[in-house]
Chain A
Amino acid sequence: MASIETPTTTLRRPAGYIARLGEWAINTNLALGDMGVFFLSTLYWIFRWPGRRAISETFAQMYEMGTKSIPVVMIGGGFIGAVLAVETLPQFQEIGLASRVGSIIVISVVKQVGPILTAVMLAGRLGGAMTAELGTMRVTEQIDALRVMGADPIRTLVVPRVLACVIMTPILTLYSDAIGILGGWLVAVRVEGVRNYPFWHYAAQSTDLFTVNVGLIKAFFFGIVISTVACYKGFRCGNGAQGVGRACTEAFVTGFCLILLSNFILALGLNNLYNALYPNQPSVL
């Protein structure tokens, strides 16, 4: 008996792995498709005009997301700018270019660190809160109640959150950028003794409007990613407290991965756009 069972077991293992891989691939594709339909439904309601109550709810969400996120975004941005100065200044001092440290701080903060750091902080602070709120509404049948009362839950709940997040993420990114540059300036100029004028002179010289827009365009897309993923995970969360908790974790992890992925795609796209617009200038990537 044992001699018959042993080969069956060894044969099953790879088949099991392949089956699980196939199952994972199918489920991932289904989830991506489902999220795509969810996002398209949100777009449909945004362009169809979601109604006055949805718009007024958008302002409430903007206050909730924007005003209350300013401290965390500013603290994060300020320290990152300061750390950038601490890490890069010795290198610049070694080659006698300490006065140029302003340019590297501004470019790093405005184009990469500011938008990504703000997006990650918002994915944690706002994304988690959105998923938990909508997940709890789903578990307590409030989303079903909306549908039964003829109010589309996407129009009522998702559109205000997505609009508020899309508007507030670039604004918060600007705050983060400003405080990040200030943090770098504080360390470089006030602590390490780099002269004030060259710091700002080279910072301004290395930054044009396109560079600032790169950061803001990225922030705009990050806002879409954070809010769509968070709302989607809330709407599709499992039952009970465990289901809501798991949905929050998944929302952050998925949002974080999509932020990094979209950052890469946007960097490539914007770099190509820059090359097309300014053919004789060095790349912005």
Chain B
Amino acid sequence: MPDQSMQNSPPTPSPLIRFENVHKRFGSLVVLNGVSVAFAEGKTTVVLGPSGTGKSVLLKHIVGLLSPDSGSVYYRDMRIDHLKDRGMEPIRRKIGFLFQLSALFDSMTVGENVAFPMREHSGLSKSEIRDRVAERLAMVGMENTENKMPGELSGGQRKRVALARAIALNPELVLYDEPTTGLDPIRSDVINELILKLHEELKVSAIVVTHDMTSAFKVGDRLVMLMGGGIIADGTADELRAHSDPRVQRFIAGRADEEDLRALHRI
């Protein structure tokens, strides 16, 4: 007999992004070794892990810049890992991507960079695009910079402009690849505040890849730790702080492991 309470409980919403047993290797280097993880809609999930553990690789699978050697990736309930560029286009329009190096187009002004996705896809008139660009730049605190070239901006300003471009088409999911890397603590905090603000104002879901613990604890509703090709921890900030795995504790505390220290002393 089915449980009555189970029947009455609201159905669990299907996750926005789902990885099922994803494997990825580059030559002999195994990066993802059977990763299965789901990212909920409306939440900000932070993917943590040391450099080179495949965090960015995970993000690139979501937008089809990489495809898994085996396993599958789903956007809502649609399998997307086998799609070509043309098949991915409707999915990509719903996703904003903030690249680690900002990836602003050097040959275009700030305004043209932010307008680029709108010109490609929105069908808006020139004046509408101009207004939307000004609005997006204002949202990230970069008003009146439309005519500047990316080369004239600081690292933090470039990130903000890249963020304005990532949200240009009102995405339902924003992917942040190391949003605070290379920035001083104050500018890092500005980016963290921006992520929170956009989450609040635009109600977007977000996946943030970082190894900056301050940023992770500040913006993440849920934290997932990737290490050695798999997920070793998954939970809220408090759950991670209380996690029993010494690798998790060492990462949170930013402490080198004993093997690394022994290797240093041997030199």
Contacts and interface: CB of A to CB of B under 8 A. Distances in A.
A142 B120 contact: no
Q: Which 10 A-B pairs have the closest CB atoms?
A: A145-B103, A141-B103, A141-B99, A148-B97, A150-B89, A149-B117, A150-B92, A148-B63, A142-B103, A140-B101
A53 interface: yes
Contacts of B247: none
Interface in A124-144: 136-137, 140-142, 144
A149 B101 CA distance: 16
A140 B100 CA distance: 9
Given A150-B93, A150-B121, A144 B85 contact: no
Interface string B81-94: 00001000100110
A140 B105 CA distance: 9
A271 B99 CA distance: 53
Contacts of B64: 147
A148 B95 contact: yes
A142 B150 CA distance: 12
12 contacts: A141-B99, A141-B100, A142-B103, A142-B105, A142-B106, A144-B103, A145-B97, A145-B105, A149-B117, A149-B120, A151-B120, A152-B85
Contacts of A152: 85
B65 interface: yes
Nearest to B97: A148
B240 to A, nearest CB: 29
Interface residues of A, number: 14
Given A136-B106, A149-B117, 16 more contacts: A53-B119, A140-B106, A141-B100, A141-B103, A142-B104, A142-B105, A144-B103, A145-B97, A145-B99, A147-B64, A147-B85, A148-B92, A148-B97, A149-B92, A150-B93, A151-B116
Nearest to A143: B103
Residue among A137, A142, A148 with the most chain B CB within 10 A? A148
Nearest to A139: B101
A148 B119 CA distance: 14
Contacts of B95: 148
Interface of A: 53, 136-137, 140-142, 144-145, 147-152
A247 B120 CA distance: 30
A213 B65 CA distance: 44
A149 B116 CA distance: 8
Nearest to B100: A141
Nearest to A136: B106
Given A142-B105, A142-B106, A144-B65, A150 B99 contact: no
A141 B101 contact: yes
Contacts of A147: 63-65, 85, 92
A113 B117 CA distance: 46
Contacts of A136: 106
B206 to A, nearest CB: 15
A150 B117 contact: yes
B90 to A, nearest CB: 9
A148 B65 contact: yes
Contacts of A149: 92, 116-117, 120-121
A144 B116 contact: no
A147 B62 CA distance: 13
Contacts of A145: 97, 99, 103, 105
B200 to A, nearest CB: 24
Contacts of B65: 144, 147-148
Contacts of A137: 105-106
A277 to B, nearest CB: 44
A140 B65 CA distance: 15
A66 B119 CA distance: 28
A146 to B, nearest CB: 8
Contacts of B85: 147, 152
B267 to A, nearest CB: 25
Contacts of A53: 119
B63 to A, nearest CB: 5
B168 to A, nearest CB: 9
A151 B97 CA distance: 14
A23 B104 CA distance: 38
A150 B116 CA distance: 10
A141 B105 CA distance: 10
Nearest to A156: B120
A152 B100 CA distance: 21
Contact of A140 (B93, B103, B121): B103
Interface string B48-66: 0000000000001001110
